[in-house]
Structure 1
């Protein structure tokens, strides 16, 4: 058991918020079962990382303690990123995002990267990684990128699919083969200005929307706009297993260095 990798998963927040029509009186933290099961599929142990702020916080445990103890971090999907995180105002009230979660996840990214641990982002996770390193987002692809395809269909949800071009010469091309692949699409926001130090690894062929990025130097940081944890072979989508294995190999290498 001690040999298994321990992978942190960032939490989704359901918390008191004056801008939300329905909000609890206490903060709830949770992760999606599919994300935990995706990590477990290769024998790693998923661990939800709690928040380190709020009126109930007490004690001396800090984010750096989790970054030291765990072997890597997965940033998973969920609420929009607050536009203020990248210097903008929400274009619509419903796009105000989750500032509390943004601050928590940016602290996680910084702590795990400083500890030399790999970070992998899924959907919101890849958007947050871009923003955390100085990039910006389209608050709504349909509104801000005329002619873009439908990247989020509320009725179809994870059964909304489209093609993606994996760019040659990238690490992602080594893992999944360059060329065109089928992926799911469950997002209305997306990367606008790429963060310094990052490389685009995949794009939507119809409209050029960024679908995958990777840090080009220093800490191991990468992410995809689609949901690999939702992919099932019978749906004709790309097999994302090499993505997970690559991340876990980086986590193993970081552990061995320690």
Structure 2
């Protein structure tokens, strides 16, 4: 059976690579690629080049919007606050274009961390720019957290009523975008997952946590890939 092609958004960064220093790279943690493959998909990178997005997305069967840098607050009508990092405007532009094409084509969309945030922002949502109680005790180390999931939901059907997820976020959804419904929460009420309000709509869901990590989230990726496979048919 042909694996659905999953477009996965990538970051732009500078790394030291073997003997080379300050190399510009399109970057994505390996766990995203591995989790998509585990779930039955064939991952390809979407570079943060807005002009290249159309060609990639017209060939994709699904879109996975990855985590990464803070989103430009101007996209949700806010000023950048003290703890918000400078925006990567090319990445924001490229990912919003990819999302618009995915929704126009009706292909499945899964958002991780900033991916969920962009799904909400494009619908008029806003962010809380700093959640110190959710920031990791050790920067660069993901922390396990149990979230509560609405059983009667897309996320609930994949994850069950609770799931252990891995978090590294200092921002979160404040106002949820139109047409979305929150379906997962942390113990303090922060939205940890949301999806399309209309259950008959094409697959559209996201986790604030890093779903590419851990085992509890694999069924969500499998449901995402299965939706892409049905769209292929």
Q: Normalization by structure 1: what TM-score?
A: 0.80
Q: Which runs of 5+ in 2 are unaligned?
A: 15-21
One of 33, 36, 41 as aligned partner of 1:39? 36
Runs (4+) of structure 1 moved beyond 6 Å?
none
Q: Which residue does 2:18 correspond to in 1? A: none
CA contact (8 A) 1:67 1:115 kept: no
CA RMSD of the aligned region, Å? 2.0
Query: Per the alignment, in what secondary structure is the counterpart of residue 3 of structure 1?
Result: coil
Which has the larger share of strand? 2
Q: Which runs of 5+ in 1 are unaligned?
A: 16-23, 143-148, 233-238
What is the Cα deviation at residue 68 of structure 1?
A: 2.2
What is the Cα deviation at residue 228 of structure 1?
A: 2.1
Q: Normalization by structure 2: what TM-score?
A: 0.88
Q: Which residue does 1:244 correspond to in 2? A: 221
- The 1:94/1:175 distance shift into structure 2, 3 A limit, reads closer
Structure 1 residues 6-155: aligned runs within 5 Å: 6-14=5-13, 28-53=25-50, 62-92=52-82, 94-142=84-132, 149-155=133-139
CA contact (8 A) 2:36 2:221 kept: yes
C-alpha separation between the residues in 2 aligned to 1:86 and 1:96? Answer: 15
Paired residues in the alignment total 224
What is the Cα deviation at residue 93 of structure 1?
A: 6.6
- The 1:66/1:117 distance shift into structure 2, 3 A limit, reads same
Instruction: Give CA deviations for 1:135-193 in whole Å, capped at 9, x if unaligned.
Output: 01011013xxxxxx4343334612x1222111232222222222x33222110000000
CA contact (8 A) 1:164 1:204 kept: yes
- The 1:64/1:188 distance shift into structure 2, 3 A limit, reads same
CA contact (8 A) 1:5 1:45 kept: yes
C-alpha separation between the residues in 1 aligned to 2:10 and 2:171? Answer: 20
CA contact (8 A) 1:64 1:112 kept: no
One of 192, 216, 227 as aligned partner of 2:197? 216
CA contact (8 A) 2:83 2:129 kept: no
Q: Which residue does 2:148 correspond to in 1? A: 165
